[in-house]
């Protein structure tokens, strides 16, 4: 039975992190009599052994707070910048684990965290992860905490933007987060009554988007809301990316693979201004005044929703239970009303994308939402 447990939060901040820390801490300390230590600022804090005692008073009053009391970062143990050099610090992580006499390490994070945790498992550490991300794109779990709060924020933003859209007869383009998965744009766009929803999983044709807006104008509806995931791509952009990825997969040398990776990086750098160009193109093609709102990090902040507090608490307490049973090397996944441990090998490096025939897409199409395809 493990007695000494470490906890860290990694990746982007997310509503519900403190609720998860609290759920783990209260159950582990008060029910299973485990000692807890928090590592500050994600895996970098683990490398440098920067700790925070997680006593009862530290867990009090944090349930409703956004962010994370432990701090976070996007550092990877195997590729960490130290003194201006990129180094593999996995050995330092193992030393910290042993120095603190840990029996297990809990890593709370998104897709990158799952991959980092698997590497630590392969290095011999007992690791358990919890799925958090506003993108809702972690494989093998029904949902990740943080998504519900971000969905509510994005939906409220679209609700508010309807006012200026209708008053000025404008097209309002709203960019949500979602680099590879469109759950947030799809959910907020549908719930907010967006007329067009563009997501990475469905490459769009610009002319079809413009035509849908012109059809609305001809019907006397002189405003439109366009919800766009940051990773949404036109058909031409998607073709370019897929061609680079196919060449990279078939590359016969490290040099060729590196060159193709550089091409991919250059594409993504150009794509950062995608919604700016889209907004300009729609104004030109429709003749309607068009404005862009990028929600950005607004979606990450603030008080977590009741659902996310419940979900994070449930995942946290279940994590403590499973650790008490000696379970490790898994992510605690949501399955319906329950949870189940899923081997990290089945999660790391995978994405949960929106299926083309998902019920949310079907419902959106049936109320007349245009996806540009």
What is the average pLDDT across 241-245? 90
**What is the predicted pLDDT for the residue at 254?**
86
What is the average pLDDT across 80-98? 96
Give the tokens for residue 30.
Answer: 């008060």
- pLDDT, the chain, mean: 96
Roughly how many angstroms between the first and final C-alpha of the chain, as a whole number?
54
Q: Which residue has the tokens 């500050």?
A: 40
CA distance 363 to 373: 16
Q: Is 228 helix (H, G, I), strand (E, B) or coil?
A: strand
Contact 231, 303 (CB under 8 A): no
Q: Is 321 helix (H, G, I), strand (E, B) or coil?
A: helix
**What is the predicted pLDDT for the residue at 7?**
98
297 by Cβ neighbours in 10 Å (0-12 / 13-18 / 19+) ranks as: exposed
Q: Greater confidence, 233 or 251?
A: 233
Residue environment code for 31-59, b if the CB has 16+ CB neighbours within 10 A, otherwise e: ebebbbbbbbbbbbbbbbbebbebeeebb
Element (H, E) at 229: strand 224-229
Give residue-wise pLDDT tens across range 54-73: 999 999 999 999 999 999 99
**What is the predicted pLDDT for the residue at 261?**
86
> Is the entire prediction scored with pTM above 0.75?
yes
CB-hemisphere CA count at 13 Å for 9? 24
**What is the predicted pLDDT for the residue at 248?**
84
CA distance 14 to 305: 11
Say yes or no to pLDDT of 18 above 80: yes
Element (H, E) at 128: strand 127-131
Set out the domains of the chain in order of their start, with CATH numbers: 4-145+304-346 (3.40.50.450), 151-299 (3.40.50.460)
**What is the predicted pLDDT for the residue at 251?**
86
Instruction: Give residue 257's pLDDT band: very low, low, confident or very high (50, 70, 90).
Output: confident
**What is the predicted pLDDT for the residue at 366?**
98
Strand 80-82, strand 85-87: pairing? antiparallel
What is the average pLDDT across 93-117? 98
**Residues acting as catalytic residues:** 135
Say yes or no to pLDDT of 151 above 90: yes
CB-hemisphere CA count at 13 Å for 237? 23
Say yes or no to pLDDT of 140 above 90: yes
Long-range contacts for 52-59 (Cβ within 8 Å, ≥24 apart)? 54/7, 54/21, 54/25, 54/29, 56/26, 56/29, 56/30, 58/25, 59/21, 59/22, 59/25, 59/26, 59/29
Give the tokens for residue 192.
Answer: 């907010």
Contact 320, 28 (CB under 8 A): yes
Contact 238, 257 (CB under 8 A): no
Question: Positive or negative, the Cα torsion across 129, 43, 307, 370?
Answer: negative
Say yes or no to pLDDT of 19 above 80: yes
Instruction: Give residue 2's pLDDT band: very low, low, confident or very high (50, 70, 90).
Output: confident
């Amino acid at each position: 039975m493990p007695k000494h447990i470490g906890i860290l939060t990694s990746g982007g901040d997310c509503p519900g992190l403190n609720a998860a820390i609290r759920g783990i801490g209260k159950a582990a300390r008060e029910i299973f009599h485990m000692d807890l230590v928090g590592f500050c600022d994600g895996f970098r804090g683990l490398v440098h052994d920067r700790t925070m005692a997680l006593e009862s008073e530290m867990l009090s009053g944090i349930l409703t707070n956004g962010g994370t009391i432990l701090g976070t970062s996007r550092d990877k143990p195997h590729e960490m910048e130290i003194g201006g050099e990129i180094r593999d610090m996995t050995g330092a992580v193992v030393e910290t684990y042993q120095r603190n006499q840990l029996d297990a390490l809990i890593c709370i994070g998104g897709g990158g965290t799952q991959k980092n945790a698997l590497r630590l498992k392969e290095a011999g550490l007992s690791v358990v992860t919890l799925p958090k991300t506003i993108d809702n794109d972690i494989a093998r779990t029904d949902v990740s905490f943080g998504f519900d709060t971000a969905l509510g924020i994005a939906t409220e933003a679209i609700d508010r933007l309807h006012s200026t859209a209708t008053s000025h007869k404008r097209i309002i383009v709203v960019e949500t987060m979602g680099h590879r998965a469109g759950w947030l744009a799809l959910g907020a766009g549908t719930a907010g009554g967006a007329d067009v929803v563009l997501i990475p999983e469905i490459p769009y044709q610009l002319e079809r988007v413009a035509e849908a807006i012109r059809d609305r104008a001809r019907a006397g509806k002189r405003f439109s809301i366009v919800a766009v995931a940051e990773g949404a791509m036109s058909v031409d952009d998607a073709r370019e990316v897929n061609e680079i990825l196919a060449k990279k997969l078939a590359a016969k040398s490290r040099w060729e693979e590196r060159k193709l990776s550089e091409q991919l990086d250059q594409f993504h750098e150009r794509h950062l201004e995608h919604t700016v160009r889209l907004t300009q193109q729609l104004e030109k093609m429709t003749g309607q005044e068009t404005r862009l709102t990028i929600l950005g990090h607004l979606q990450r902040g603030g008080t977590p929703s009741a659902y996310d507090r419940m979900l994070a608490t449930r995942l946290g307490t279940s994590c403590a239970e499973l650790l008490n049973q000696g379970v490790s090397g898994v992510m605690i996944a949501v399955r319906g009303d329950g949870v189940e441990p899923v081997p990290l090998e089945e999660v790391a490096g995978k994405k949960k994308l929106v299926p083309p025939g998902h019920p949310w897409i079907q419902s959106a199409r049936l109320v007349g939402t245009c996806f540009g395809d």
